[in-house]
Amino acid sequence: MSPSKFDPKKHHRRSIRLQGYDYSQAGAYYVTIVTYQRDCLFGKIENEEMLLSDFGAIANECWIAIPDHFPNVELGAYVVMPNHVHGIILIRADESQSNPGMIDDGRRGAALLRPYEDQHKINVKPGSLGAIVRSFKSAVSYRINKEHNATGIWQRNYYEHIIRNETDLQNKTDYIEANPMLWDEDDNNPINHGP
């Protein structure tokens, strides 16, 4: 049996983004990025604290480096968990488009991140939340592959929530900060999923 070719009428992926919303505009966003098959690649929780593995340390370093590559981005609370990352990304009004987005390619300097079309014709706007998340995932994957010869790090896509006010921001911040203490009940914890 031969694999079927991509047919956009049959294989259309429904977007989970808010229809018509410009994710490159100034705002605060809560994101969750999950590892492939929820594998606990980034470390473990012990005594309600996250202990990072080598992979987790790379994810942590790449997350902290996001503003180095996206000058109009600030980071809020974040946590690298055993199999996912939660974080708040704040996009400020863009002062210039001279640097719409960079990804760390592991060499001195960085490579410009440009919108691209993959086999499913998905465009990502430079400087948008999608470009930032893609840049982060790419940098983590690149470094883990280079330093540990491992692939298959991330699940496709990511979850996002547009933060609408200070109360929402505080609630998301509190959740992120408490996440290691809540690991036993976490939806991403593999023990909470059947075989």
Written in H, E and C, the secondary structure of the chain is CCCCCCCCCCCCCCCCCCCCCCCCCCEEEEEEEEEHHHCCCCEEEECCEEEECHHHHHHHHHHHCHHHHCCCEEEEEEEECCCEEEEEEEECCCCCCCCCCEECCCCCCCEECCCCCCCCCCCCCCCCHHHHHHHHHHHHHHHHHHHHCCCCCECCCCEEEEECCHHHHHHHHHHHHHHHHHHHHCCCCHHHCCC
pLDDT tens for 140-183 read 999 999 999 999 999 999 999 999 999 999 999 999 999 999 99
Say what percent of the chain tops pLDDT 70.
73
Q: Is residue 101 pLDDT above 80, yes or no? A: no
Which residue's entry shows tokens 């977007």? 15
Architecture of domain 27-182: 2-Layer Sandwich (3.30)
Pairing verdict, β 73-80 and 27-34: unpaired
Domains of the chain: which residue ranges? 27-182
pLDDT tens for 17-38 read 556 677 888 999 999 999 999 9
What is the Cα 113 distance to its own chain's centre?
A: 15
Q: Is residue 110 pLDDT above 90, yes or no? A: no
CA nearest 35: which of 130, 124, 140? 140
* CA–CA gap between residue 133 and residue 139 (Å, rounded): 10
At position 30, the amino acid (one-letter code) is Y
Read off the pTM. Answer: 0.77
